[in-house]
Amino acid sequence: MSVAFLFIMLLFTMLIGVPIAMALGLTSVLTLLLFGQESLAALALKFFQATQKYELLAVPFFILAGTFLTTGGVARRLIDFANAAVGHFHGGLALAAVVACMLFASISGSSPATVIAVGSIAIAGMVHNGYSLKYATGVVINAGTLGILLPPSIVMVVYAAATEQSVGRLFVAGIVPGFILATMLMAAIYVSSYRLDVPRVPWGGWRKLGRSALNAIWGLLLVVIVLGGIYVGAFTPTEAAAVSAVYAFVVAVFIYRDLKLEDLFGVLLNSSRVIVMLMYAAATEQSVGRLFVAGIVPGFILATMLMVAIYVSSYRLDVPRVPWGGWRKLGRSALNAIWGLLLVVIVLGGIYVGAFTPTEAAAVSAVYAFVVAVFIYRDLKLEDLFGVLLNSSRVIVMLMFIISNAGLFAYVLTSLQIPQTLTETMASGHVQPWMFLLTINIAMLVAGNFMEPTSIVLIFAPIVFPIARQLGIDPIHLGVLMTVNMEIGLVHPPVGLNLFVAAGVTKQSLWDVTKAALPWLAILVVFLLLITYVPILSTWLPDLAFGKDPFLNDQ
């Protein structure tokens, strides 16, 4: 009776439009008051304890770093570098958009932020060069999903905090899948560009490439500082997040000078809207480091799949391409973008070598992003700093409120013995791991039709995690799998967040944006099956970097 009341009440409150955080909290409190023995004081304690996790300190810092760099000119410099590198191929501008999404994802850790930063520039550029608006929008919406797969992923940080897994392992685990997905997308773009006769940009030469790289160097350095600092042991992922926030501020305000101090209030306000994507880690208490590493391979796989699809479709659609600018232009672009790219190296490298924890890495990334945005690129003005901080704080407060209610909901699930009962049922029924994983995918994809990804993670993670452990499924594999499911949820209606973001950027209707994104969705589904049943894609790199999970060694 209590279990039925819990889920019926939760479904009812969400269907009538109650925000997910309030629905989780209200349902949990009513269930415990009616069927449990806990006092209201105990419930209040559980509510606040949900956010008292060291790893969660990384969340606001990474969000702040991404906000600094999004507000500044880092995205523009990364796109210039990507155009100089691959713009001369068939479908080159679309391929460059995927590359830019990969690079910016390694800085921001957020899918919506990636779509906003890259889409606001790349979509207009593609349309200007002869691409259809539908084609350009579909590419950016799907490539933007790399934002939560490639490290440093905010979603992985929260998943790690909730499941007590290593942030470093999760960061590394996302690298290979991320590159695979990017390759798949680029292959599809390249092929379709021939059919669509998509234009390509002339090759600008090595000099132009070098200038572009030099112009983007401060943004690229954030990646190096954060990841490098984490993997060399200079600081924890949480400390790296703080460093990244400060660095992003300095770069945006003092280097690129794209962010004005008077705009700082607005930047902080915008940051507050991005953090919802972090709930999975909070619900399952996994290590942020392992999750960061785990997302690397899947992230590259997805990017590869998208690029292959773009490349192939560009032939069929005869998509125009930009002339090859030469190695000199490529070098200039790389040099211009190097500061942004270095952030990935610093964060992942720092975690990997043990220089700092994932939480420390988040702090490092924030500091690095500040320095690059203010002092190097000088795209962020000091007068804009207050707005940036305010926007970030709104997202952080919203996220922490959701995490608190999610922790209360998880406590209710445990009190009612729901995960334990399901685990025993699965074991007695001799359910095979492949069947369990298929069930997770189907359930999450169905739920994605009427719930946004954060809500799905908050409800599913506390239930499926103990079952996965019982079946011998690597928690890192499970974290990457759920992240990919969330990627799909971001790009399909009716509640796909990337669809709403793209509609706002391009001023199109939600229906037009949805039609643009759906053809590319097939690549994400194929990628999901690949990640589901080839777990080594998610676990090989973190196992190589950190050793195999001791729990799995005992299985």
pLDDT digits (tens, 9 = 90+) for 330-358: 888 888 878 877 877 887 788 777 787 77
| Top-confidence residue, 52 or 45 | 45
Strand partners, 221: 339
- Average pLDDT, whole number, for the chain? 76
Q: Taking phi first (over 0 means left), then psi (-120 to 50 degrees means alpha), and beta for anything else, what does residue 359 get?
A: alpha
d(CA 12, CA 23): 9
d(CA 277, CA 158): 9
Side-chain-facing half-sphere of 216: CA atoms under 13 Å: 36
Side-chain-facing half-sphere of 347: CA atoms under 13 Å: 59
Given this model, what pLDDT does residue 534 score?
A: 93
Q: Looking at 57-71, 132-146, 534-548, which range is the least confident one? A: 57-71
Given this model, what pLDDT does residue 361 score?
A: 80
Cβ–Cβ < 8 Å for 268, 67: yes
pLDDT digits (tens, 9 = 90+) for 362-401: 778 888 888 888 888 777 777 777 777 777 777 677 667 7
Helix/strand/coil for 334: helix
Question: What is the percent of the chain where pLDDT is above 70?
Answer: 78
Mean pLDDT of 127-138: 86
Contact partners, residue 41, CB within 8 Å, separation at least 6: none
Cβ–Cβ < 8 Å for 420, 466: yes
End-to-end CA distance of the chain: 35
Cβ–Cβ < 8 Å for 416, 32: no
d(CA 86, CA 193): 13
Model confidence band, residue 314 (pLDDT cutoffs 50, 70, 90): confident
Cβ–Cβ < 8 Å for 251, 72: yes
Nearest to residue 482, comparing CAs of 500, 455, 501? Answer: 455
Structure tokens at 282: 């909070």
Nearest to residue 484, comparing CAs of 141, 165, 159, 145? Answer: 145
Considering only CA atoms, give the Rg of the chain: 22
d(CA 255, CA 397): 29
Distance of CA 17 to the CA centre of its chain: 26
Given this model, what pLDDT does residue 53 score?
A: 63
Say which residue the tokens 């809500």 belong to: 455
d(CA 364, CA 9): 42
Residue 264 has pLDDT above 70, yes or no: no
Which H helix or E strand runs over 360?
Answer: strand 360-360
pLDDT digits (tens, 9 = 90+) for 410-463: 777 777 777 677 777 776 777 888 999 998 898 888 777 666 666 677 677 777
Burial class (CB in 10 A: 0-12, 13-18, 19+), 447: middle
Mean pLDDT of 142-152: 83
Cβ–Cβ < 8 Å for 91, 123: no
Distance of CA 38 to the CA centre of its chain: 37
